[in-house]
């Protein structure tokens, strides 16, 4: 083997040097100086030979270290043309380079897979160095979620989303928090989770951003359904006997024996009070019955329908009311073949409710306009949009309008938008609102 041969050559060099030095010492001790002409050059040759070997080895090592420094693992050290004493060294360098190349390829592959995974997930990912705030990982989901194409430093986020920035800075590793941001005039709830990681001596904060608006909306809707079911049951059980009793008392007061008695005139106030109780009880029963509608919708009769047909039916139905109030209805539909699979009756009810609200919002405008439109998003979701140039809504109302019992109108029952939301959730879709106070509102129906 080459290594054994090199080992023996090294041993012979050492023995040869030892022999020449011993001979020189013997000559000097015996005083036979003429022999120094032979032993002296032999010692000098052995010393320079060892120094030359050391320099060659050091030069080879320096070249290898330089290639490592510049990450040049493609360099090949020629073993066959090398001196025998350097062949093991060069072979070792080549083996190390091969190992580094394998490790480098594995790391590049892992890095590539990690990048692909981060780009495929819907969760937004952001990492930044704790000390400087300089960002590291940023995936497309984060950019799309917050509408930020580029972020050099985490501190740059303060100018765009100040509330979100403060929550991120305060968030401790292992904790999570739900933050509400305004995205395209829509309130979006984001679950932010933080963790720490250390890389190359630096400490990074890793943040995950997940849009939980739809999940929270569905959970909230189910909670309201349970609450309304209990409330309507208890209210109707309590109010129905009161209404019945009031009706019985009123009929009793109108009976001949009481109506013709001397105290009949004194019972007029009592009759008026009983009549008021009866009317209010009946009103409360009707009000409660209307909220039962929220829980009645449990099954869908799905069929595929063209959006243009939906809009045409809605236009024919609402046209008399629109003309009476001089409201212009614009229908924008670039692709007439766009179709959705829905329960037509329920979706028409949603569109009617939203159109009625829009009519109410624009009734006092000089040039009232309501627009119906449809579009297909980049991820192949169909969105129907009902927009108006009405009075709009302040930001603090946007997250309340879908809550049952809540209404911005004095005569409103607060059931319309709640019902719309439940119908959309049953369709595995969602309803969102965009509004600017004084400029108008837009409701977006998103179908998967």
The end-to-end CA distance of the chain, in Å, is: 71
Tell me what pLDDT residue 75 has: 72
Task: Output the pTM of the full model.
Answer: 0.49
Tell me what pLDDT residue 444 has: 92
Q: What is the pLDDT of residues 176-197, one digit of tens each?
A: 777 777 766 566 777 888 888 7
Instruction: Give the gyration radius of the chain's Cα atoms.
Output: 43
Is residue 319 over pLDDT 60?
A: yes
| Mean pLDDT score, 396-412 | 68
Q: Confidence class of residue 118 from pLDDT cuts 50, 70 and 90?
A: low
Q: Name the token pair of 360.
A: 């109410």
- Residue 76 or 340, more confident: 340
Is residue 119 over pLDDT 70?
A: no
Sign of the Cα pseudo-torsion (67, 71, 73, 75, in order): negative
- The pairing of strands 328-332 and 369-376 is parallel
| Mean pLDDT score, 354-381 | 87
Residues 196 and 130: their CA atoms lie apart, in Å, by 9
| Mean pLDDT score, 39-44 | 80
Q: What is the pLDDT of residues 248-299, one digit of tens each?
A: 777 776 776 666 566 556 666 667 777 777 776 776 666 566 556 555 656 7
| Mean pLDDT score, 401-423 | 69
Sign of the Cα pseudo-torsion (214, 220, 222, 225, in order): negative
Sign of the Cα pseudo-torsion (378, 383, 389, 392, in order): negative
Q: Confidence class of residue 1 from pLDDT cuts 50, 70 and 90?
A: very low
Tell me what pLDDT residue 236 has: 65
How buried is residue 124: exposed, middle or buried, by Cβ count under 10 Å (0-12/13-18/19+)? buried
Q: Confidence class of residue 222 from pLDDT cuts 50, 70 and 90?
A: low
Contacts of 342 (CB under 8 A, 6+ apart): 300, 302, 303, 305, 427, 447
Beta bridge partners of 178: 191
* Range from 147-151, 223-227, 324-328 carrying the lowest mean pLDDT: 223-227
Residues 175 and 190: their CA atoms lie apart, in Å, by 14
């Amino acid at each position: 083997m080459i290594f054994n041969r090199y080992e023996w050559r090294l041993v012979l060099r050492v023995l040869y040097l030892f022999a020449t030095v011993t001979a020189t010492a013997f000559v000097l001790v015996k005083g036979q100086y003429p022999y120094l002409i032979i032993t002296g050059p032999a010692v000098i040759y052995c010393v320079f030979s060892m120094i030359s070997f050391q320099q060659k080895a050091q030069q080879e090592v320096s070249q290898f270290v330089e290639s490592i420094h510049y990450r040049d693992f493609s360099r090949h050290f020629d073993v066959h043309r090398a001196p025998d004493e350097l062949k093991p060294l060069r072979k070792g360098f080549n083996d190390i380079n091969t190992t580094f190349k394998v490790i480098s390829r594995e790391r590049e592959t892992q890095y590539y897979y990690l990048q692909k995974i981060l780009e495929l997930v819907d969760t937004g990912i952001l990492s930044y160095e704790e000390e400087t705030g300089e960002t590291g990982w940023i995936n497309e989901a984060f950019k799309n979620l917050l509408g930020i194409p580029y972020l050099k430093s985490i501190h740059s986020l303060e100018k765009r989303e100040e509330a979100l920035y403060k929550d991120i800075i305060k968030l401790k590793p292992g904790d999570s928090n739900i933050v509400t941001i305004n995205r395209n005039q829509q309130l979006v709830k984001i679950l932010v989770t933080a963790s720490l990681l250390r890389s190359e001596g630096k400490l990074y904060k890793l943040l995950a951003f997940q849009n939980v608006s739809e999940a929270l909306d569905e959970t909230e809707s189910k909670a309201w359904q349970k609450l309304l079911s209990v409330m309507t049951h208890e209210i109707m059980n309590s109010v129905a006997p009161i209404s019945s009793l009031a009706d019985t008392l009123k009929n009793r007061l109108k009976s001949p024996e009481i109506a013709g008695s001397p105290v009949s005139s004194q019972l007029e106030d009592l009759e008026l009070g009983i009549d008021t109780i009866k009317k209010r009880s009946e009103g409360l029963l009707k009000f409660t019955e209307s909220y039962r509608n929220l829980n009645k919708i449990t099954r869908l009769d799905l069929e595929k329908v063209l959006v243009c047909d939906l809009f045409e039916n809605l236009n024919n139905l609402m046209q008399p009311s629109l003309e009476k109030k001089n409201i212009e209805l614009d229908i924008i539909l670039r692709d007439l073949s766009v179709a959705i699979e829905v329960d037509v009756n329920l979706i028409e009810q949603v569109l009617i409710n939203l159109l009625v609200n829009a009519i109410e919002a624009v009734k006092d405008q000089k040039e009232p306009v309501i627009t119906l439109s449809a579009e297909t998003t980049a991820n192949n979701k169909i969105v129907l949009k009902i927009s108006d140039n009405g009075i709009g809504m302040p930001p603090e109302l946007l997250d309340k309008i879908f809550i049952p019992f809540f209404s911005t109108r004095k005569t409103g029952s607060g059931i319309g938008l709640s019902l719309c939301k439940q119908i959309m959730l049953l369709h595995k879709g969602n309803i969102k609102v965009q509004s600017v106070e004084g400029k108008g509102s837009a409701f977006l129906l998103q179908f998967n």
